[in-house]
Amino acid sequence: MSGMPATARQSVVAAPCFDLRGVQVHLGPASRLQALTDIFLRIEEGERVALVGANGSGKSTLLRTLHGLQRPSAGELHSPAHQRVAMLFQRPHMLRMSARRNIQLGLWLRGVPARQTRALAAQALERVEMGHLAERNARALSGGQQQRLALARAWALRPAVWLLDEPTASLDPHAKREVEALIAEFTAAGQRDVDGQPTGRPTTLVFSSHNLGQVKRLASRVVYLEQGRLLADLPVNDFFNHDLLRSLCPQAHLFVQGESL
């Protein structure tokens, strides 16, 4: 077993969304830092996967790799070819323009005709209860408002896959609950086409979080990383079963104990 990640997953037949085989990622000057080592990870359409691990364990790097922003230095990566993928970063990137125009620009960059973007942006702002802030400079919004705006900008694109990097990390408890509820709603609703019509296919969610309560609420599966290695990959109930986790992956068990203190 040594060197193998703890896993209790049944093999299921479903559409693969991501498939990583032996992925390595190197970063920094002369690519000297190995941020991810030998990652094997297959994510099916409709799964809700949480990435957990200490600071610097590789969660953001893995999300960036799934999104295609970071190229593996070795190994194979298969990602959804014709699906809309939305990524939210640890700190939202907002342009110095109104909230509405930030969403419009996001839509236009993805090929939505300019004349349609205004109504879609207004609808997205209403969806996150920010209609009254539409004309405010996005950079002047609070952290929680910016994160809601980032969700609205993503939702406007009707993504089939959501990649969220610590989406509630810098928010106060009230904003945290609000943003988490939006994530739950958006990702449970199933895929929609650009006209908002359901396609009958489930949405896929991959997110990182230091909030284990949030992991329990949002995830169906938990992936534990340590120093760039995937050490455990378990259904959420198994991950939070102390005795099982202690026997399957002592390192992850220690991490959960530390985070729960």
* Minimum CB distance to ligand ATP, residue 6 (Å): 19
* Minimum CB distance to ligand ATP, residue 69 (Å): 11
- CA dist., res. 222 & res. 214, Å (int): 12
- CA dist., res. 102 & res. 157, Å (int): 13
Work out whether 33 is an interface residue with ligand ATP (CB under 6 A). yes
Q: Which is nearer to ligand ATP, 18 or 155 (CB)?
A: 18
Size of the site for ligand ATP (CB under 6 A): 12
CA distances from 91 to 143, 146, 147, 148, 168 (A): 9, 9, 8, 12, 10
Site string for ligand ATP, 48-77 (x = CB under 6 A): -----x-xxxxxxx----------------
* Minimum CB distance to ligand ATP, residue 151 (Å): 19
Site for Mg ion in 39-68 (CB under 5 A): 59-60
- CA dist., res. 36 & res. 57, Å (int): 8
**What one-character-per-residue DSSP string does 126-148 give?**
HHTT-GGGTTSBGGGS-HHHHHH
- CA dist., res. 92 & res. 106, Å (int): 13
Q: Element (H or E) spanning 250, and its range?
A: helix 250-260
The option from ligand ATP, Mg ion, none interacting with 176 (CB < 5 to 8 A, set by class) reads: none
Among 6, 35, 43, 86, contact with ligand ATP (rule: CB under 6 A): 35
Work out whether 170 is an interface residue with Mg ion (CB under 5 A). no
* Minimum CB distance to ligand ATP, residue 77 (Å): 16
